[in-house]
Structure 1
């Protein structure tokens, strides 16, 4: 089995990558498999900068091809926030529930037609001694007024997917993994995956 290393310690993301790559014949390893490696500080101001930073740093240490993603929620009424700060929007401890509560509080006077948002994802593939590649995907939606559903992670319970007429957290993984921002970025990557590996 071919090995693919994902630069993440987020168990929710790790699970999604396994579900997407194992059927293609890849064994997925994450930073949870390399406990000696420290987290890469995300100092970029865009998803692309952060994704490349993580992938290239880990690739340089391991001297292997490393994939990283940086993703988040961009809400139009909040001028694109939480954006690159999505994971730690309510504080450094990265608490999904607190992050959602903060967003709902900030939007409480915003009418439903103005609650448009999108999940964005940039994947970076760092290849030793080559230029890194990036792939981007987005999923459009609306921020709901309350949490719904038990699937997924992050902001999924407050993100309404119009085409599915459900919250992202109400969609089973096989549906989410077809329509999500991460899925769309991975579909682009799949077109080049044979060349990369």
Structure 2
């Protein structure tokens, strides 16, 4: 499995994103696999107080369990009017994991009385690369924008339909995948890992 890197996720959209970014940057000789492609191992719950702690814990677990270099990310939405929340709780803001619609409705409800000029927010992504017996690298990407009051767009996932990036009139969910990769928090973080991923490919 030389030249293989494990992206510690079951999210097919995240896998596609990393594969597209590597291809766009001309990184060849690296096969990106996901958790569905390796033998199952116990995954620790995300209990870190920061995106960086969660990403590093996930990457360490995956590298230790599989012997493969592992990339993991933790990302979420930080709304200015909510003091940076939902933050690390973004995927389970309603109290259960992965209910995008309910999470989005809750944030919209919490921001209902917040005027447009105070609806600033950022998507944040921390990405970690752990090489078994080797280096650990953690990077961060941020994408600033504004939260609108109603969903728009069918691309993306999570809070994409209510996030309008700075300098853009469309929501993140209205951008095509290549546009999103070029600008997004995850795209920025993954590109910051590229020198280290390129070294694994050679």
Per the normalisation by structure 2, the TM-score is 0.92
Q: CA deviation at 1:196?
A: 4.5
Where 1:77 maps in the other structure, the secondary structure is: helix
Q: Equivalents in 1 of 2:180, 2:190: separation in Å?
A: 13
| Residue of structure 1 in register with 2:58 after alignment | 54
Selected match of 1:98 from 99, 102, 108: 102
Q: Equivalents in 2 of 1:15, 1:91: separation in Å?
A: 28
Q: CA deviation at 1:64?
A: 1.7
- Contact map agreement 1:122 1:137 (CA 8 A) in 2: yes
| Residue of structure 2 in register with 1:164 after alignment | 168
Task: State the structure with bigger RCO (CA 8 A, min sep 6), 1 or 2.
Answer: 2
- Contact map agreement 1:119 1:181 (CA 8 A) in 2: yes
CA RMSD of aligned residues (A): 1.6
Q: CA deviation at 1:32?
A: 1.6
Residue 144 (str. 1) matches residue 144 (str. 2): no
Deviations 1:38-69 (A, max 9, x none): 33311111000000000001101112210001
User: Displaced runs of 4+ in structure 1, greater than 4 A?
Assistant: none
Residue 70 (str. 1) matches residue 48 (str. 2): no
| Residue of structure 1 in register with 2:134 after alignment | 130
Q: How does 1:80-91 map to 2 (within 5 A)?
A: 80-91=84-95
In structure 1, stretches of 5+ residues that fail to align are none
Q: Equivalents in 1 of 2:117, 2:195: separation in Å?
A: 36
Q: Equivalents in 2 of 1:175, 1:138: separation in Å?
A: 16
Across the two proteins, how many residue pairs are aligned to each other? 197
Per the normalisation by structure 1, the TM-score is 0.94
Q: Equivalents in 2 of 1:62, 1:189: separation in Å?
A: 20
